């Protein structure tokens, strides 16, 4: 289903498998990330603009590569990182993007009585990890200029949406003309929150019962760093070839 306050809503039909996994018996709406990317590309086929796909590593890059190839636009990465709670790093109290843009859950921070000192230190630690990964993935390629571009931010799914919100804020701060969020699956409440801050949200499936992103894939095996680097390189070569051909 395409969800957006500014776009018509329509139903995407799925062929799905019944799988038995960690979460018990569930419907796998996507075979793997490539399949999810193809379905998202189909939902985005009306995309027209001077655009770029920014994918959230690692799994989001697989989908982003498929979408960028279909839409014939460049692919790059954006790396937001979760700011975890003290003694419970899996509980997000916020998120930060590579340019330092941070989104904080002030109500949760107040409830947990998290100190400003901890938030500052943890934010800096996550920024260091972001820059380490950027160097690994981009190598010697500089960050793309997004000012005036129509940006599509892609991930392989959304749970709380904290990292996506940080990515959205970062891209907006960089002057993007418009920002579209494209994900295969996410809980309804999170998608509704994102619709308030993105120009457009494309989410194919918004189940009421949501435990983890992996339950909606038949194959949700980990994407390795080497694959991320390879896909970015392949897209870069493809776009360089198109540029030479247009001259």
Phi then psi for 112, rounded to 5 degrees?
-85, -5
Count Cβ atoms below 10 Å from residue 121 Cβ, excluding itself.
11
CA distance 174 to 206: 29
- Return the biggest CA–CA distance within the chain: 59
pLDDT computed for residue 244 by the predictor = 53
Each domain of the chain, given as residue ranges in start order, spans 2-80+142-246
CATH (one of 3.40.50.2300, 3.40.50.2020, 2.60.120.10, 3.40.720.10) for 2-80+142-246: 3.40.50.2020
| Nearby residues of 71 by Cβ (< 8 Å), 6 or more positions away | 41, 44, 47, 51, 53, 152
CB count in 10 Å sphere of residue 46: 7
The span from the CA of 162 to the CA of 93, in Å, is: 8
pLDDT of residue 26: 53
Pairing of strands 51-55, 102-104: unpaired
pLDDT of residue 177: 95
pLDDT of residue 25: 46
pLDDT the model gives residue 218: 93
Give per-residue pLDDT as tens, 1-34: 334 333 333 334 445 554 444 444 456 789 999 9
Count Cβ neighbours within 10 Å for each residue of 58-67 and write b for 16 or more, e otherwise. bbbbbbbbbb
Where the chain has pLDDT below 70, the residues are: 1-27, 241-247
Q: Which two tokens stand for residue 160?
A: 């709380």
């Amino acid at each position: 289903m395409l969800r957006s306050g500014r776009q018509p809503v329509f139903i995407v039909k799925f062929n799905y498998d019944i799988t038995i996994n960690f979460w018990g018996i569930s419907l796998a709406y996507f075979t793997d990330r490539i399949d999810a990317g193809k379905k998202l590309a189909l939902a985005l086929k009306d995309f027209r603009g001077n655009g770029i796909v920014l994918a959230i590593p690692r799994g989001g890059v697989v989908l982003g590569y498929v979408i960028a190839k279909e839409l014939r636009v460049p692919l790059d990465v954006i790396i937001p990182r979760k700011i975890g709670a003290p003694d419970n790093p899996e509980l997000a109290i916020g998120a930060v993007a590579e340019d330092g843009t941070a989104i904080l859950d002030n109500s949760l921070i107040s409830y947990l009585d998290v100190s400003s000192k901890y938030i500052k230190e943890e934010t800096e630690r996550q920024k260091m990890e972001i820059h380490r990964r950027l160097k690994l993935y981009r190598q010697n390629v500089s960050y793309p200029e997004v000012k005036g571009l129509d940006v599509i931010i892609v991930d392989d799914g959304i749970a709380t949406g904290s990292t996506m919100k940080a990515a959205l804020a970062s891209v907006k701060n960089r002057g993007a003309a418009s920002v579209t969020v494209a994900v295969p699956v996410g809980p309804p409440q999170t998608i509704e929150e994102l619709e308030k801050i993105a120009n457009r949200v494309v989410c194919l499936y918004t189940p009421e019962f949501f435990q983890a992103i992996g339950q909606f894939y038949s194959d949700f095996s980990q994407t390795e760093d080497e694959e991320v680097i390879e896909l970015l390189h392949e897209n870069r070569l493809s776009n360089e070839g198109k540029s030479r051909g247009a001259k």
